């Protein structure tokens, strides 16, 4: 959420930044709502002062025996009470209107974020690894003979489209990847492993900007809980409504969780295989930092996600998203795209964003500098990485012509020393 004081002092700057995101100027409307709210508050305060003054005079009039003045003052006190209640309601409605307006606006991009309207305008900043040269036509993950353990037919009977049942080697490899990611982030990157609920209250979804704008992209239960689209929601909200000590920053967390997304805007996209699912697993990274450290932390977190792919030997490229492709809550985003030979292209496997104080204001998450007043923390989040997409990349990059798959050596300790999935779907 945005700082109304910044908008008051910099309306043109605010509108210009939103304009880079394709949002029409809104500062005038926001400031009008803010002025009406503040006027109602001012009138309520003035009426309260008048009531308090009249209340003090009521007793004096009674003591003097001035019945006419006593009745006038008593009527004034009663009238001011009703006036104050009406003005308080008006101010409350103004607060809610202004809050709703601010909640519906995206974060402002950093100046160095490239302008653009779509993914075609994203800017590549580096590549790692050389895509393997095959002497046969590489297949997509679901076409491999060893991938019989990817059971889409049974999943469709159970749940419908965009679900999968993992069996045998596929299930174990998927689990191994998640364990490997967690172990790496905890032991090498210094993140604290955390296990959080997948059902959250509405306030948590507001805190990390899934609501109100993206309600249709998530699932809500009959009881009112929301299924998390990512554990960014729970990890970030662990500092909700807190004032942290400066010495405790940064807070670096990681979690492996189920994630749920309706994919409302992706009809017809990636319908084959398990690239885009309603239910999937992800290892998430979240950092809560001092404002002065968030940009450096963004680079560090990007490096943590890249390290996972490097250890697995998976070629990737890292890009900076343009203004037209960036997420609602981000000030800057790095996407990491892994090479998928079956599709002959790079596909997103991680997205790492710095949000500034945008989420912290929605959560009222602050820290207290030594000798200073509380200030808002900065929040960052990123995939470290998406487990299902990593499974796809491992299968496609390690495939052999007979349908078997050579596995990354770093996974052997998680697979009982096995380094290969045979063409019939077993380990050896």
Cite the active site residues: 261, 276, 348, 351, 389
Residue 383 counted as an annotated binding residue: yes
Residue 370 counted as an annotated binding residue: no
Note the residue count of the chain: 428
Q: What are phi and psi of 259, to 5 degrees?
A: -130, 145
Residue 348 counted as an annotated binding residue: yes
Residue 351 counted as an annotated binding residue: yes
Tokens of 129: 């690894």
All structural domains of the chain, each given as residue ranges with its CATH number in brackets, are 4-103 (1.10.287.40), 119-421 (3.30.930.10)
Cβ–Cβ under 8 Å, residues 421 and 407: yes
Q: CA–CA distance from 111 to each of 129, 177, 300 (Å)?
A: 30, 37, 20
Tokens of 143: 């076409």
Q: How far apart are CA 337 and CA 326, in angstroms?
A: 15
Q: Tell me the helix, strand and coil percentages in the chain, rounded to 5.
A: 45, 20, 35
Residue 124 counted as an annotated binding residue: no
Give the residue among 358, 332, 353 at the shortest CA–CA distance from 102: 358
Residue 42 counted as an annotated binding residue: no
Residues paired with residue 378 on neighbouring β-strands, in sequence order:
289
pLDDT by 10s per residue, the chain, length 428 = 999 999 999 999 999 999 999 999 999 999 999 999 999 999 988 888 887 777 777 766 666 666 677 667 767 777 888 888 888 899 999 999 999 999 999 999 999 999 999 999 999 999 999 999 999 999 999 999 999 999 999 999 999 999 999 999 999 999 999 999 999 999 999 999 999 999 999 999 999 999 999 999 999 999 999 999 999 999 999 999 999 999 999 999 999 999 999 987 666 677 789 999 999 999 999 999 999 999 999 999 999 999 999 999 999 999 999 999 999 999 999 999 999 999 999 999 999 999 999 999 999 999 999 889 999 999 999 999 999 999 999 999 999 999 999 999 999 999 999 999 999 999 99
Q: How far apart are CA 172 and CA 168, in angstroms?
A: 6
């Amino acid at each position: 959420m945005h700082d109304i004081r910044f908008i008051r002092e910099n309306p043109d700057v605010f509108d210009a930044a939103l304009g880079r995101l394709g949002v029409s100027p809104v500062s005038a409307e926001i400031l009008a709502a803010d002025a009406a709210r503040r006027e109602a508050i001012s009138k309520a305060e003035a009426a309260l002062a008048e009531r308090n003054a009249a209340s003090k005079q009521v007793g004096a009039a009674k003591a003097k025996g001035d019945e006419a003045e006593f009745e006038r003052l008593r009527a004034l006190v009663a009238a001011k009470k009703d006036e104050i209640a009406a003005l308080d309601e008006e101010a409350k409605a103004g607060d809610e209107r202004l809050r709703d307006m601010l909640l519906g606006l995206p974060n402002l991009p950093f100046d160095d974020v490239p302008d653009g309207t779509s993914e075609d305008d994203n800017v590549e900043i580096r590549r790692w690894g050389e895509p393997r040269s095959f002497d046969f036509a590489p297949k997509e993950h679901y076409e491999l003979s060893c991938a019989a353990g990817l059971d889409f037919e049974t999943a469709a009977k159970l749940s419908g489209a965009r679900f999968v049942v993992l069996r045998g080697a596929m299930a174990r490899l998927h689990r191994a990847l998640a364990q490997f990611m967690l172990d790496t982030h905890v032991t090498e990157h210094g993140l604290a492993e955390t296990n959080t609920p997948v059902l959250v209250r509405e306030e948590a979804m507001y805190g990390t900007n899934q609501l109100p704008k993206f309600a249709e992209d998530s699932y809500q239960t009959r009881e009112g809980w929301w299924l998390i689209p990512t554990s960014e929601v729970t990890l970030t909200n662990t500092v909700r409504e807190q004032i942290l000590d400066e010495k405790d920053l940064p807070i670096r967390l990681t979690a492996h969780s189920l994630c749920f997304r309706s994919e409302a805007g992706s009809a017809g996209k990636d319908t084959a295989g398990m690239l885009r699912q309603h239910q999937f697993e992800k290892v998430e990274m979240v950092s809560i930092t001092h404002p002065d450290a968030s940009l450096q932390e963004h680079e560090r977190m990007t490096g943590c996600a890249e390290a996972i792919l490097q250890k697995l030997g998976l070629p990737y490229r890292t890009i900076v998203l343009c203004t037209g492709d960036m997420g609602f809550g981000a000030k800057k985003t790095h996407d990491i795209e892994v090479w998928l030979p079956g599709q002959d292209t790079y596909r997103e496997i991680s997205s790492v964003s710095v949000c500034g104080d945008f989420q912290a204001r929605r959560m009222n998450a602050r820290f207290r500098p030594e000798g200073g007043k509380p200030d808002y923390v900065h929040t960052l989040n990123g995939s470290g990485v998406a487990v299902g997409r990593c499974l796809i990349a491992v299968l496609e990059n390690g495939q052999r012509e007979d349908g078997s798959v050579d596995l990354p050596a770093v996974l052997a300790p998680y697979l009982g020393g096995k380094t290969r999935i045979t063409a019939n779907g077993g380990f050896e």
